[in-house]
Amino acid sequence: PICVDEHEALARLGGIANLLLVHDRPIARHADDSIAWMLDGEARLLRRARGYAPAPVLLRAPVPTTLGLGAHLKSSVALAIERQVFISQHIGDLDDPVARQAYDQVLADLMRLYAVQPLVLAHDLHPDYYTTQVAQRLSQAATRPPTLIAVQHHHAHFAACLAEHHHSDPALGIIWDGTGYGLDGTIWGGEFLLGNCAHSERFAYLRPFGLPGGEAAIREPWRVALALLYELEGDELWQRGDLVPVGSLHDAQRPLLHAMLKRGLNSPRTSSAGRLFDGVAALLGLCQVASYEGEAALLLEYYADPHTTTSYPFGLDGPHLDWRPCLAALLEEQRRGVPISLISARFHNSMVAAMVRIAQQSDVVTIALSGGCFQNRLLSERACQHLRASGKQVLMQRLVPPNDGGICLGQVATVGGREVGSRK
């Protein structure tokens, strides 16, 4: 979170700032700048903070007083009173102890400001997240313990989008992001969810692949690229020194990474669309080690030729959307020297074509797009265009971000959806 006084600024920024301009008027609470972009003819928030928080978002129907404790990354919290959902400013990533302190303060401010005690605490399904720990702590400290409801991460994205549009009929959520704890305990992120605010089921998902090194693969996309190649080539991969991730390995690294991928050692499986974008960026030589969040996917989008309309094939194996034919075609074009701009554009187009293919297999008309991948303008614009051309209605978020900053609204909306369902 942003610094709010000179002591904090000196401690955190003293190493990079030559001068601090201060004032004796205290700042009561931090509030970062809000960020919005124009997409599909409307201004849409990417970060909800100054100027927007805590202005309420209205739900379709009243809910019990509920506290949505948000996500672990890009965290924010939401307090629902009747139909109004008061959403806090952007807080930040809760791996940071400073962000955790800010989170606790925002939570206390919100409860004090509206003078209510929640009947329900909605939190992420992940058992180790700080927000889950806070939910348990608040429940234990309450005179009348509130009901605890764990909401799966991608369902919360889906519910947030539906709630903003007051949509109660069945819909298909295309929820693509970097990571989220799945119902089966694996890492999800390339999800097609069929349902409504209350409940959804996994209709389809990207074919899973390993993440050698676990979280290290998020910072080092070359690891993801290697995992994708292993899914395609198997044990023959290590003879392919012509491929960037293999050729750049030291001799000592190869047997270790081979064992990790072959045996699944410290290589959790994921269906993440965000990691797939990262891996392709690394394969094309755009980003082997990320210096900031989202760098690999951002570069992949940046280099894409916006005029290219062709794409690569995708396979479908039961619920698995199989990216391997796409990757094989991409690698063949790379081998033939096709420009990166064309390959990147065709990969984006392939992902959109995959969305349309799955959407056409469902009976529902409404498609909800959410998750951090939809901060990619090229992907979002083409998804809207092609889904609508196929006869679908497309919903995208405007009042809350499609990234994890909107999760708290989805948690509250899930509680509301289940409450409405229980009254029928």
User: What are 342-357's pLDDT values in tens digits?
Assistant: 999 999 999 999 999 9
Please, which pLDDT band fits residue 247 given cuts at 50, 70 and 90?
confident
b/e map 10-41, b = 16+ CB within 10 Å: eeeeeeeeeeeeeeeeeeeebbbebebeebee
Asked if residue 422 has pLDDT above 70, the reply is no
Residue bearing the bigger pLDDT, 274 or 1:
274
- The domains of the chain, with CATH numbers, are 1-30 (no CATH), 31-154+403-423 (3.30.420.360)
Cβ contacts of 307-310, under 8 Å, gap ≥ 24:
307/345, 308/341, 308/342, 308/345, 308/346, 308/349, 309/349, 310/346, 310/349
- Among residues 389, 237, 246, 228, the alpha carbon closest in space to that of 322 is found at 228
Q: At residue 180, what are phi and psi to the nearest 5 degrees? A: -170, 140
pLDDT given for residue 242 in this prediction: 81
The span from the CA of 283 to the CA of 34, in Å, is 34
pLDDT given for residue 408 in this prediction: 99
Sequence-distant (6+) residues with CB within 8 A of 189 are: 154, 176, 177, 178, 179, 180, 206, 270, 271, 272, 273, 274, 275, 371
- Host H or E run for residue 160: helix 153-164
- Among residues 386, 297, 306, the alpha carbon closest in space to that of 345 is found at 306
Q: Quote the Cα angle for 294-298-304, to 5°.
A: 155
- Among residues 302, 328, 118, the alpha carbon closest in space to that of 233 is found at 328
For the chain, what is the mean pLDDT?
95
Size (the chain), residues: 424
Q: Which pairing describes strands 393-396 and 366-370: parallel, antiparallel, or unpaired? A: parallel
Q: 269 forms bridges with which residues in the sheet?
A: 210
180: helix, coil or strand? strand
pLDDT given for residue 424 in this prediction: 62
Asked if residue 328 has pLDDT above 90, the reply is yes
Question: What are the tens digits of pLDDT across the range 11-22?
Answer: 888 889 888 888
pLDDT given for residue 8 in this prediction: 85
**300 in the Ramachandran plot: left (φ > 0), alpha (ψ -120 to 50) or beta?**
alpha
Question: What are the tens digits of pLDDT across the range 79-104?
Answer: 999 999 999 999 999 999 999 999 99
What mean pLDDT comes out for the span 137-156? 96
Asked if residue 421 has pLDDT above 80, the reply is no
Q: Tell me the pTM.
A: 0.95
Tokens describing residue 67: 């506290």
Query: Are residues 257 and 212 in contact, defined by beta-carbon separation less than 8 angstroms?
Result: yes
